[in-house]
Structures are given as structure tokens and as C-alpha cells.
């Protein structure tokens, strides 16, 4: 799997199945189950480290988990998060992005409207995935885990940011916890691939946190999560069911959308 193949999938309307992944064993399992993209997410701060948010995750954490994930998945496309505080300037972001690429990532993901950061990374040959809507690294600024873009001003800001990041060269964007109608409008407007999580069924692909979709995270399950272990005889079968549901547009439904 590579960036060109993913872009071709989106162009022909084939949904892209994405899951978070943090280690070699799950990486090999997800790859065998047909997952298109593995996201080494800073969500590991919650599902692996037990934190209440992602803000304590370090570059050392991200480098380690990116390297172990890449070891287990030889043919998957791997996206790695730039953690909190690692992309405060374009130059800092470039330095840290290079660390994640060296560890085995093919693309880095960053949160918010960091247009100048995206421009510098792309100029230096590093593919970028943006992240808009609810952005976990801004949880305190946003006042908690809340759906974004429900009012006219909020929706306009997200759309403007999406267009700006697209023009800056981002190849992909995660759209999290926003009205399905807004995510659809963004998908139709921009050239970069859109990956939804709590953003309705009309994005180019979908992502869930692995531990959420397996029902093994002890925190509160968000509305947009479905437990794919229900009715599955193994973890690999559950992941296969997730991939099939994304590919066939059976997931997400209105039940999982805002």
C-alpha cells in the first residue's frame, strides 16, 4: 500500500479502512485482515497508558510505537501522530516528523490549522494528514469532548481550514466529531482524502481506535464506535468485519453520526 494507491482508491469510490495500531503483533494482524492504513495515534496515551487525554504522549513514545508497528506490518501504509507540543513551529515539526519517518511512518498527522507547518513538511517530501473538527490535543481549549461545527460560524471555520490545508499540500485529513453534512461538504470540496471518525458515512474512509472497536477500552464508548467483537469468533475476524463494513458502507450508519 502506498499514497498513490490510496488516492486511486478514493478516486474510484472505494472506501479506505483505517485503524489505530501501536505494536507489531496487532500490526501484523490488521494487515492480514485487510486494513488499508495503520494510524499510530497519540490515542495510545489513553488506551495504553491509561491517561485521561492524549497530552502526556511524548515524541519518544511515538517513535517507539511507530517503530514497533512498522516492524509488524511490512506492506501497510503507516501514519504517525505528531504529539502535543511537537509541531509548535514549522522547523520543530520538520525535525520531529523526520524522526517518525525514520522510525517507519510513511505520513505524519497533525492537528489544527497549521498551514505553515504543512507547507514546510510537504516541501521536504513528507506527506501530511491534517486533523479537523474535534482535535484531542485542543481538548481544554474546546471545553471537553464536544462535537464541533454545529453552528454556522464553527462550520465555516472548519471548511475554511480544510480548504487552506488542502491548498497547503495535505494529502489526507481526519474529520472527527462533526455533523455528517459538514463532512460531506468538505469531502466534495477538497482534493485530499477525508477519513471520518464520528463524521458520517460520506468521507473517503473511516478510522476507529482499535481498542474501541474491540470493546476492550475501559473508558466511555463514544457514540460513533461500534463493537465489532460482537458476533466475531476472534480478534482477526472482528477486524475483518470492520474492514468489510467500511468497504460496503454498512458502517458508519446514522446511529454512529451527528
Task: Return d(Cα 165, Cα 90) in angstroms, integer.
Answer: 14
pTM of the model: 0.97
80 alpha carbon, distance to own chain's centre: 9
pLDDT in tens, 6-38: 999 999 999 999 999 999 999 999 999 999 999
Task: Return d(Cα 65, Cα 62) in angstroms, integer.
Answer: 5
In the block, cell 482477526 appears at 236
Task: Return d(Cα 118, Cα 126) in angstroms, integer.
Answer: 9
Task: Return d(Cα 116, Cα 78) in angstroms, integer.
Answer: 23
| Cβ proximity of 98 and 121 under 8 Å | no
Looking at residue 218, what is its pLDDT? 74
Q: Which of 30, 60, 1 is closest to 209 using CA atoms?
A: 30
The CATH number for 184's domain is 3.20.20.60
Report which of residues 145 and 128 the model is more confident about. Answer: 128
Other Cβ atoms within 10 Å of 71 Cβ, number: 15
- Which of the residues 31, 63, 111, 176 is marked catalytic? 176
Tell me the mean pLDDT in the region 96-119.
98
pLDDT in tens, 76-107: 999 999 999 999 999 999 999 999 999 999 99
Task: Return d(Cα 45, Cα 56) in angstroms, integer.
Answer: 7
Q: Give the chain's mean pLDDT.
A: 97
Structural domain including 66 reads 3-256
Looking at residue 54, what is its pLDDT? 96
Task: Return d(Cα 217, Cα 111) in angstroms, integer.
Answer: 23
Number of domains in the chain: 1
At residue 151 the predicted structure's pLDDT band, cuts being 50, 70 and 90, is very high
Please give the share of the chain, as a percent, with pLDDT higher than 70: 100
At residue 234 the predicted structure's pLDDT band, cuts being 50, 70 and 90, is very high
Bridge partners for 39 per DSSP? 20, 79
| 63 in catalytic set | no
Tell me the mean pLDDT in the region 206-227.
91
Task: Return d(Cα 28, Cα 24) in angstroms, integer.
Answer: 6
Looking at residue 219, what is its pLDDT? 72
Amino acid at each position: 500500500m502506498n499514497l498513490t494507491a490510496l488516492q486511486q482508491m478514493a478516486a474510484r469510490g472505494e472506501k479506505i479502512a483505517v485503524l489505530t495500531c501501536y505494536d507489531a503483533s496487532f500490526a501484523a494482524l490488521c494487515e492480514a485482515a485487510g486494513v488499508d492504513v495503520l494510524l499510530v495515534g497519540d490515542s495510545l496515551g489513553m488506551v495504553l497508558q491509561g491517561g485521561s487525554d492524549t497530552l502526556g504522549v511524548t515524541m519518544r513514545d511515538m517513535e517507539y510505537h511507530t517503530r514497533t508497528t512498522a516492524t509488524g506490518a511490512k506492506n501497510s501504509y503507516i501514519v504517525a501522530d505528531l504529539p502535543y507540543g511537537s509541531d509548535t513551529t514549522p522547523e520543530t515539526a520538520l525535525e520531529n516528523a523526520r524522526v517518525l519517518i525514520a522510525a517507519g511512518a510513511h505520513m505524519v498527522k497533525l492537528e489544527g490549522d497549521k498551514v505553515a507547518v504543512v507547507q514546510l513538511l510537504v516541501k521536504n517530501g513528507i506527506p501530511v494528514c491534517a486533523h479537523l473538527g474535534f482535535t484531542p490535543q485542543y481538548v481544554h481549549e474546546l471545553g471537553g469532548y464536544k462535537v464541533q461545527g454545529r453552528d454556522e460560524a464553527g462550520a465555516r471555520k472548519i471548511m475554511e481550514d480544510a480548504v487552506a490545508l488542502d491548498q497547503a499540500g495535505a494529502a489526507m485529513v481526519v474529520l472527527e466529531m462533526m455533523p455528517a453534512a459538514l463532512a460531506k461538504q468538505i469531502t466534495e470540496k477538497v482534493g485530499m482524502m477525508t477519513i471520518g471518525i464520528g463524521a458520517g458515512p460520506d468521507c473517503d474512509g473511516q478510522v476507529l481506535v482499535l481498542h474501541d472497536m474491540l470493546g476492550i477500552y475501559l473508558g466511555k464508548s463514544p457514540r460513533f464506535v461500534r463493537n465489532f467483537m460482537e458476533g466475531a469468533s476472534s480478534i482477526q475476524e472482528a477486524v475483518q468485519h470492520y474492514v468489510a463494513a467500511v468497504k460496503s458502507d454498512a458502517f458508519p450508519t446514522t446511529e454512529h453520526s451527528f
